[in-house]
């Protein structure tokens, strides 16, 4: 293993700090093809599934930790850079008051539909025009939990590589495949192979309990305020409805995806 | 119906604007015993279940709308105040870039355990040390959907009357009972009557599908990063476990509550 060399940065105006802070904005992430993830647990999860940061940023004065040492080793081995900075600067970079003392810069993944292998998993999650990065990250986390293959983002969704989405995913951004496509790209792709498209709907829908789910099952939810366009719902193989006992007529999008995905999981297993 | 009189405010430094903006902070809400809710739909839902704002704040230049007129009528009738201001000032008040043109100041509700009637509903949600106001609001919204009686907040939770929680609740803050208590207050209250306390747990747990749920069923989730303390889990009548197929060992707290609550709902209905 090569020797671990660290570069120290103590000034807010350092170009590397500016670069790292710029990654909070989508246009800069896109230009650089990288994203920022933070937290020892998340970076360790990433490392365990083969994702090593190009750049590891650590707060000075942290107590030694075997997982930090392992991260440093992996980064050094893969030719990455290790930066040591002040806790204040690290806070500025991640935009969080109480940073966990470590962050990493990762190369963005291929998010083309063509890269998805639908035979890999029995459940896939699909989100249409999902605007809230927290919801998006939560869907990734739920996908990991139900053993989904990944999350397909249709139309104009939040950026899965934003700090907020990565944080809410609790590391699932590294374990779930992510694809981005328009509806006009997605539907032909879906119909080019096996796949049941399912959405929660009030239109001509079956009760969601024990509906005839079939693998690979693509569980789709729509935009937080508009829901799915009617034509998208009508293109589904199965529309299901969940009980709504109160005065509201919808669930939070990430919640609806989870309740439905767990039902699909149970249905496919019986 | 009394004549509707409106007061116009155009200056950011107006004391009423300062008062309204101060309600974004918990200490001011607590001192005044009020909270802020925004959006025509939410205020209409509130009105329909008997909650009329003390003060209604509207952006000038809105198109006339029968629901706005109905709100104004209710506020005037109950002796409340109607403020017309600029869209900019309304944005500042609600802290949202794209305000929906109307907001209201409501009296906080009684959040004592003593005010809860557990026979009112078969499901109740319980959150322990839930820190994220979005998760809290989402739990209220889910509670409304599953026909829960309300949400009981144990120990140090986020404020259910914060703008973020109210927004995420999508109006359920008005339809769900909310109680706040410490664990040492809650447990004796629970054991003073019927009630099955259920938590998602990895300790000595049954599969969550078709577990023996019984009404009134209290579905409890814990803090976002710590989960429930072990002693709290052990005090439950039933511990259930949900499949975790991936590398993570937990769900988002609001998601876990929803998946479990929908299973309880199905279990109680069969």
pLDDT tens digits for range B171-223:
999 999 999 999 999 999 999 999 999 999 888 899 999 899 999 999 999 99
pLDDT range class, residue A162, cuts 50, 70, 90 = very high
Q: pLDDT at position A5, please? A: 83
pLDDT tens digits for range B36-62:
999 998 999 999 989 999 999 999 888
What's the rounded mean pLDDT across residues A20-31? 94
Domain boundary assignment for chain B: 6-107, 113-269
Best of A46, A148, A251 to disrupt the B interface (most B CBs within 10 Å) is: A251
Between CA A52 and CA A72 the distance in angstroms is 10
Enter the ipTM.
0.93
Q: Is the dihedral of CA A62, A66, A67, A70 positive or negative?
A: positive
pLDDT tens digits for range A53-85:
999 999 988 888 899 999 999 999 999 999 999
Nearest alpha-carbon partner for B183 in B240, B115, B135, B235: B235
- Phi, psi angles (nearest 5°) of residue B96: -125, 135
- Name every residue in B having a CB less than 8 A away from some CB of A: 45, 48-49, 134, 138, 141-147, 168, 170-172, 175, 209, 242-248, 250-252, 254-255, 258-259, 262-263, 265-266
For chain A, what is the largest distance between any 2 Cα atoms, rounded to a whole number of angstroms? 64
What's the rounded mean pLDDT across residues A144-167? 96
Q: Are A165 and A158 in contact (CB under 8 A)?
A: yes
Q: pLDDT at position A99, please? A: 60
Q: Are B19 and B93 in contact (CB under 8 A)?
A: no
What's the rounded mean pLDDT across residues A120-139? 97
A1 has pLDDT over 70: no
**Inter-chain CB proximity A244 and B145 less than 8 Å:** yes
pLDDT tens digits for range B142-175:
999 999 999 999 999 999 999 999 999 999 999 9
Q: pLDDT at position B99, please? A: 60
**Inter-chain CB proximity B242 and A262 less than 8 Å:** yes
One of 1.10.287.110, 3.20.20.70, 3.40.1280.10, 3.30.230.70 is the CATH number of B113-269, namely 3.40.1280.10
Query: What value does the mean pLDDT of chain B take?
Result: 93
**Inter-chain CB proximity B175 and A45 less than 8 Å:** no
* Closest CB from A142, A246, A265 relative to B144: A246
Q: pLDDT at position A98, please? A: 58
**Inter-chain CB proximity B252 and A168 less than 8 Å:** yes
Q: To the nearest whole percent, how much of chain A has pLDDT over 70?
A: 97
A3 has pLDDT over 80: no
**Inter-chain CB proximity B252 and A254 less than 8 Å:** yes
**Inter-chain CB proximity A247 and B143 less than 8 Å:** no
CB burial string B107-144: b at 16+ within 10 A, e below: eebebebeebebeebbbbbbbbbbebbbbbbbbbbbbb
**Inter-chain CB proximity A144 and B242 less than 8 Å:** no
pLDDT tens digits for range B72-112:
999 999 999 999 999 999 988 888 765 678 999 999 999 99
Chain A nearest-CA distance from B180, in A, is: 22
Nearest alpha-carbon partner for A144 in A251, A257, A253, A224: A257
Q: Are B33 and B107 in contact (CB under 8 A)?
A: yes
Domain B6-107 identical in fold to domain B113-269: no
Q: Are A73 and A1 in contact (CB under 8 A)?
A: yes
One of 3.30.1330.30, 3.40.718.10, 3.10.180.10, 3.40.50.720 is the CATH number of A6-107, namely 3.30.1330.30
pLDDT range class, residue A204, cuts 50, 70, 90 = confident
- The structure's pTM equals 0.94
pLDDT range class, residue B136, cuts 50, 70, 90 = very high
pLDDT tens digits for range A230-249:
999 999 999 999 999 998 88
* Closest CB from B141, B250, B262 relative to A242: B262
Q: pLDDT at position B95, please? A: 82
Q: pLDDT at position B155, please? A: 97
CB burial string A129-154: b at 16+ within 10 A, e below: bbebbbbbbbbbbbbbbbbbbbbbbb
Best of A39, A259, A260, A265 to disrupt the B interface (most B CBs within 10 Å) is: A259
């Amino acid at each position: 293993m090569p020797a671990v060399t660290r570069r120290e940065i103590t000034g807010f105006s350092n170009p590397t700090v500016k670069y790292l802070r710029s990654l909070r904005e989508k246009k800069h992430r896109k230009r650089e093809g990288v994203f920022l993830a933070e937290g020892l647990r998340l970076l360790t999860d990433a490392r365990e599934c083969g994702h090593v940061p190009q750049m590891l940023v650590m707060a000075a004065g942290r107590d030694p930790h075997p997982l930090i040492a392992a991260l440093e080793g992996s980064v050094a081995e893969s030719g990455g850079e290790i930066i040591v900075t002040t806790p204040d600067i690290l806070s500025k970079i991640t935009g969080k008051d109480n940073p966990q003392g470590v962050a990493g810069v990762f190369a963005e993944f291929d998010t083309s539909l063509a890269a998805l292998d639908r035979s890999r998993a029995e459940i896939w999650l699909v989100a249409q025009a999902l605007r809230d990065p927290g919801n998006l990250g939560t869907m990734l986390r739920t996908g990991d939990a139900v053993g989904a293959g990944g999350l397909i983002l249709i139309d104009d969704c939040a950026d899965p590589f934003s700090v907020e989405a990565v944080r809410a995913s609790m590391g699932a951004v590294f374990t779930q495949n992510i694809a981005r496509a328009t509806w006009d790209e997605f539907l032909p792709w879906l119909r080019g192979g096996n796949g049941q498209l399912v959405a929660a709907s009030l239109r001509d829908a079956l009760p969601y309990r024990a509906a005839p789910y079939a693998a690979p099952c693509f569980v789709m939810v729509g935009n937080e305020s508009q829901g799915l366009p009617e034509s998208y719902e009508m293109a589904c193989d199965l529309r299901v409805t969940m009980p709504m006992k109160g005065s509201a007529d919808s669930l939070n999008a990430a919640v609806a995806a989870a309740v439905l995905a767990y039902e699909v999981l149970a249905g496919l297993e019986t």
